[in-house]
Amino acid sequence: MLAIPPSCSSSSRWICSGCIRNVVRQRQLTLNARGATSRVRLGHQWLSKSQQRAYSLSAPLLSKILTERERTRNIGIIAHIDAGKTTTTERMLYYSGFTRSIGDVDDGSTVTDFLPAERARGITIQSAAITFNWPPTQLLPGDDEVQDPSTLPTVEKLKKEGLPRSSVPHVINLIDTPGHADFTFEVLRSLRILDGAVCILDGVAGVEAQTEKVWHQASRYQIPRIVFVNKLDREGAAFGRTVKEIATKLAGWPVVCQIPWFEKGEGRFKGVGDAIHLRALSYPEGGDGKKPHMYSLEQLKKKDRDLAEEIKKARVALIELLSEQDGRLVECFLENDGDHMAVTPLDILDSLRRCLQKPATRIIPVFAGASFKNIGVQPLLDAVINLLPSPTERPDPEVTIGHTKGGLEALLSGKLKLDDPSSTKPSKKKGKSQSPSPATIRNSLAKLEACALAFKVVNDAKRGVLVYVRVYSGELTRNSALFNTSLQLSERGPRLLKMYANDAVEVASVKAGNIAVITGLKFARTGDTLLQFPGNKPTPPQPLNTLQLRPIDVPSAVFFASVEPHSLSEEKHLHEALALLLREDPSLHVTQDEESGQTLLSGMGELHLEIARDRLVKDMKAKASMGKNVLPSHLNMAILKTALVNGGVAALSRGPNHAYPMHDTHVRLTLNLAEHLFGNDSSLPAISAAARTATQAALREVAGSATLMEPVMNVTISVNEGSMGAVIHDISSARGGHVLSLDEGEEGEEGADEMAGLPPIDVAKVYAPKDPSGAVSMSSSMADGMAGSNVRQIKARVPLKEMVGYLKHLRSLTGGRGTFVMSVDRFEKMSVPRVKALLTEWNEGV
C-alpha cells in the first residue's frame, strides 16, 4: 500500500516522481546508491529508478481503491498453539506480493513474529497487525497484466457480471494472534475490533481445547468465521474427523467447501477439491504454490474419478445444508430445476455470506490445505474476500452515552433517543441546568469528526508509545486533538501510522473501518474511547463527553510473583517500568502485599510472567529481580456473636486503620433498653471499650481455627484415549483434583451462553469425506499420539497450586502431545496438610 503525501507540489492529478521516492522512504525500504541498478519494491513489482521517474500514479483513483470501506476486510487469525497461524500468515503475505520470500517460524525469519522472544521460542506472544492487498494490486508497469485502476468495477457491477468480490483488489487488515492460553488477553482485545476471523485447525489434532475457548470468545462478539483445516500433509491427518469435531465441539454446522486430494486416495496430499466451483487444484511437490494446476470436473474424471465423485457429493451436501438456512438459495436451486450442479458459484458464495452474517444459522464454511507445503492458501484468501464482511456490513457498534445504550450510527443519525436533559439537577452556582439543549447536542454531534477505540498500547524503543486504534466513524487525521471520554481529558497525537508488523508508514488520515496507530499519546489506555473535534483542546458538552464504545473485558489474574529492585535507588525506575508494562498489558496487575511489603506482579500464567520479567529487565532496563511464583490465598473467619451494646459502630467511625491493625472490620452492637438504658455501660467510652475488647477476644478465639482458602481452577485436558487413565489418576490422586466429565458430557462455561436455547447439532446429518486409512491406522511412531479418532477431553477442578509447571508433566504422561487450558473457578477451603505446607513455606520466606 502506498501513502500519498498530501503536500505534493505537483499541480497535475498525477503524483510526481519525487513523491514516489518519499513513499519509498516512508516504507523504510533501502535504496541502493548505485543508480539505475537499484530496485525499489512497490506493490508486487520491482522497478529501477529510471522506470519510477518515467511513471506516475493517479492519486484520486488510488485513494478510491485503497480506502473504500466495501473493499476492506479487518480479519484475525485465531487457533490453538502450533496450529499454523503464523505459517499461514507468512504465505498470505508472500502470495499478496508483500514479501519476496516466505518467512519461516523455525528460522526466525517471519514478518509478524518480530520480537526476539517470539523468534527464540517459535511462538506468537503479542498480536501483530499488517496490511496488504488481495488480489495483488498491479499499479505499476513491468508486464502485460497491469490493470488500470479506473477499470476496476464496483461491487454492484461485479454482481451484474457474475464475478466474485475477489476479482478486484481488496485491502486486508490482518491481525495474527497468539495461540498460547497465557496470552488470551491479546486475543480478546483483537477480537473486539475484528469484522471476521479465520480459525485454523490442526488436521492431526483436530479441535483442541484452546480453539474451543477462543471460538466461544469470538461468538460473544458475533464475529463471522471460516475454518481452515491445516497440516493435512502430515501422517495421521483426518479431515473428515475434524469436520465432525467442528460440529460437536464448536456447536455449528460445518459446510465443507473443499475436500483434500490425496494421490490415489491414500498417498501424498497434493491439493484440494473445490465443491463451490466444481474443480480441483493440484500443487506441484516442492513448489511455492503460486501456480497450481486446475482441473475441471470433466477433466478430473479422467485423472481421478473417485475425487470427482466426492466433489459432487460435497456439492450436494453443501446445497442441501445452505437451503435449510437461506431461502434465496432455495429459489436459485428451483430456478435450475433442482440440479445441485447447476447452481452458480456466485449464488453459493452469496448464500454463505448471508448465513455468516446471521449467527443463528451457525454455518461454518470449512476449507482444506497445508500452509507449510504451500497448499490451499490462495483459495483461503479468496474466501476471506468473498465470505467475510466489510465494515459496512457489520452491526452498528455498541455505545453508551450517559445512561443510554444504543448504536453509534443510530446516535449520529439522530435515531437514538437520549435521556431527557431536564432530569439533570440544576447547578448550585448559576442556578441553571447543566445539561445542554437537544439542539446543542445535535450541533455537537455534527462537529464530531471521528470516533475511535484504543485496543492496544505498545511501548516502542524507537517510536515511543504507540496506540493502536480502530476508527468507527468519520476520518481520523494526524496532529489532531483527541478527547478521551474514559479519562475526561484531551491530548494530541502528532503522527498517524499504518503498521506493517514492525514497520510503519506515516499517513495523513485514516477513514472509518480501518486500523491505525497514533503516536505521542501520554495517557490513552486499552479500551479508551477517543473523539476528534475541531479545536486545540476540545471538550464536548454533556452527555457527549460520556460517549464510550463497548470496552474490552480484562480476565482475572491467575499467577503471582514478587518483584524487587536491586537497591532503593532503583525503586522509582522499577515502578515507572511497571506502569508502562501495565499500560501495555492490562491483564497484568501490580499489588502491594500488606504484611511483607513486597510488590506482587500477577498475570495469566507462568509463561506470561516470564515474558513480563524479560520485558522489564531487557527492554525497559529495570534493575530488578523476580521471585518464584506465589499463589493467592484468603484467610476466612466466620464469627457469630451476640452483641452487647448498641453504638459500637460509632466507636469505629474513624476507620479500622486509625487505631487497629485490621482492615474492613465491622462490629454490630444492639441495645437492650430494659438493661442498658441507664448507667455507665451506655456511655461512649464504655461502648468503645466493649467493641474493642469483644473484637480482640473473638479474633483470639478463632485464630487457631481460621480457614485458609485457595484458588481452584476449571481445567480442560485434551489427551489420547491411551493416556487418559494415567492422566485421570494423576489429577484425582496426586493433585487432589476432581474429574467432572469426559468429552462432551458437560458444556464448558465459555460456551454455555452461546448454546442456551439452541438445538443440538445432529452429527449424523453432517457431511464429511472419508479419511485415508492412515488417519485411523497410525504408524507405531504415532501410536501414543493424539491423531485419529482417539482424542478425549477431561474436565476437572484442580487446586491452582497443583497446576504450576503441569504442562511438562502432562507431556511426559502423553508422549508430548497432551494440552490443557484452565480458568479460575472459585476459592475453596484448604486441606490440613496443605495448610501446614503453606505455613511452612511462609515461615521459610520470612
Evaluate if residue 828 carries a pLDDT over 60. yes
pLDDT band at 23; cut points 50, 70, 90: very low
pLDDT band at 282; cut points 50, 70, 90: very high
pLDDT band at 241; cut points 50, 70, 90: very high
DSSP assignment of 17-66, as one string? HHHHHHHHHHTTPPPPTTGGG-EEEETTEEEEHHHHHT---BHHHHHHHH
Q: What is the pLDDT of residues 62-85, one digit of tens each?
A: 334 444 788 899 999 998 888 888
**Residue 151 annotated as part of some ligand binding site:** no
Q: Distance between CA atoms of 276 and 312, rounded to whole angstroms?
A: 10
**Residue 647 annotated as part of some ligand binding site:** no
Backbone angles phi, psi at 576, to 5 degrees: -65, -40
Average the pLDDT over each of 166-180, 183-197, 231-245, 424-438 and give the range with the smallest value. Answer: 424-438
In the prediction, which pLDDT does 682 show? 61
Taking residues 203-213, what's their average pLDDT? 88
**Residue 825 annotated as part of some ligand binding site:** no
Evaluate if residue 841 carries a pLDDT over 90. no
Q: Output the CA torsion 392→393→398→401 (10° steps).
A: 40
What's the per-residue H, E or C state across 470-529? EEEEEEEECCEEEEECCCCEEEEECEEEEEECCEEEECCEEECCCEEEEECCCCCCCCCE
Taking residues 493-510, what's their average pLDDT? 86
Q: What is the CA radius of gyration of the chain?
A: 31
Evaluate if residue 459 carries a pLDDT over 70. yes
1, 82, 180, 704 from 131: Cα distances, Å: 8, 23, 24, 62
Q: Which three cell numbers stand for residue 626?
A: 523476580
Taking residues 477-503, what's their average pLDDT? 89
Q: What is the pLDDT of residues 518-530, one digit of tens each?
A: 999 999 999 999 9
pLDDT band at 609; cut points 50, 70, 90: confident
Evaluate if residue 343 carries a pLDDT over 90. yes
**Residue 232 annotated as part of some ligand binding site:** yes
Evaluate if residue 253 carries a pLDDT over 50. yes
In the prediction, which pLDDT does 767 show? 95
Q: Amino acid identity of 129?
A: A
How many residues are given for the chain?
846
In the prediction, which pLDDT does 641 show? 45
Q: Distance between CA atoms of 834 and 281, rounded to whole angstroms?
A: 60
Q: Distance between CA atoms of 767 and 557, rounded to whole angstroms?
A: 41
562, 569, 671 from 621: Cα distances, Å: 18, 14, 61
More confident residue, 72 or 560: 72
In the prediction, which pLDDT does 631 show? 56
Q: Distance between CA atoms of 168 and 171, rounded to whole angstroms?
A: 10
**Residue 748 annotated as part of some ligand binding site:** no
**Which long-range contacts does 504-509 make (Cβ < 8 Å, 24+ apart)?**
504/28, 504/463, 505/1, 505/3, 505/26, 505/27, 506/3, 506/26, 506/478, 507/3, 507/478, 508/3, 508/4, 508/5, 508/6, 508/477, 508/478, 509/475, 509/476, 509/477, 509/478
Beta strands 253-256 and 624-630 are: unpaired
In the prediction, which pLDDT does 754 show? 55
Taking residues 592-607, what's their average pLDDT? 77
More confident residue, 445 or 198: 198
**Residue 176 annotated as part of some ligand binding site:** yes
In the prediction, which pLDDT does 469 show? 94
Q: What is the pLDDT of residues 715-774, one digit of tens each?
A: 888 887 778 888 888 888 888 888 888 874 344 445 545 555 677 888 889 999 998 865
Evaluate if residue 777 carries a pLDDT over 90. no
pLDDT band at 474; cut points 50, 70, 90: very high
Highest mean pLDDT: which range of 295-309, 576-590, 817-831: 295-309
In the prediction, which pLDDT does 1 show? 36
The residues facing 79 across adjacent strands are 200
Evaluate if residue 286 carries a pLDDT over 60. yes
Classify residue 122 by burial, with Cβ atoms within 10 Å: 0-12, 13-18, 19+.
Answer: middle
Q: Tell whether pTM > 0.85.
A: no
Handedness of CA 119, 521, 453, 183 (dihedral sign): positive
Backbone angles phi, psi at 488, to 5 degrees: 60, 50
Average the pLDDT over each of 53-57, 254-258, 638-642 and give the range with the smallest value. Answer: 53-57
Neighbouring C-beta atoms of residue 576, cutoff 10 Å: 12
What's the per-residue H, E or C state across 769-834? CCCCHHHCCCCHHHCCCCCCCCEEEEEEEEEHHHHCCHHHHHHHHCCCCCEEEEEEEEEEECCHHH
In the prediction, which pLDDT does 618 show? 84
pLDDT band at 791; cut points 50, 70, 90: low
Angle between helices 377-387 and 345-356 (to 10 degrees): 70
Taking residues 320-324, what's their average pLDDT? 95
In the prediction, which pLDDT does 590 show? 87
To the nearest whole number, what is the mean pLDDT of the chain?
A: 77
In the prediction, which pLDDT does 642 show? 42
pLDDT band at 192; cut points 50, 70, 90: very high
The residues facing 399 across adjacent strands are 406, 549
In the prediction, which pLDDT does 154 show? 67
**Residue 720 annotated as part of some ligand binding site:** no
Evaluate if residue 822 carries a pLDDT over 70. yes
In the prediction, which pLDDT does 67 show? 46
Q: Distance between CA atoms of 440 and 447, rounded to whole angstroms?
A: 11
**Residue 81 annotated as part of some ligand binding site:** yes
Q: What's 258's DSSP letter? A: E
Nearest to 606 by CA among 628, 587, 584: 628
SS3 state of residue 607 = helix
**Residue 711 annotated as part of some ligand binding site:** no
In this prediction, what percent of the chain has a pLDDT beyond 70? 71
In the prediction, which pLDDT does 441 show? 78
Q: Which domains does the chain have, with CATH numbers?
A: 17-63 (no CATH), 69-142+152-393 (3.40.50.300), 398-418+442-549 (2.40.30.10), 559-630 (3.30.70.870), 638-703 (no CATH), 707-845 (3.30.70.240)
**Residue 231 annotated as part of some ligand binding site:** yes
**CA angle (718 as vertex; 712, 720 as ends), nearest 5:** 140
Highest mean pLDDT: which range of 30-39, 137-146, 338-347, 835-844: 338-347
In the prediction, which pLDDT does 308 show? 95
Evaluate if residue 420 carries a pLDDT over 80. no
Handedness of CA 10, 16, 18, 21 (dihedral sign): positive
Q: Respond yes or no on whether the N-terminal peptide bond of residue 661 is cis (omega within 30° of 0).
A: no
What are the E-state strand segments in 675-735?
Answer: 707-720
**Residue 545 annotated as part of some ligand binding site:** no
SS3 state of residue 546 = helix
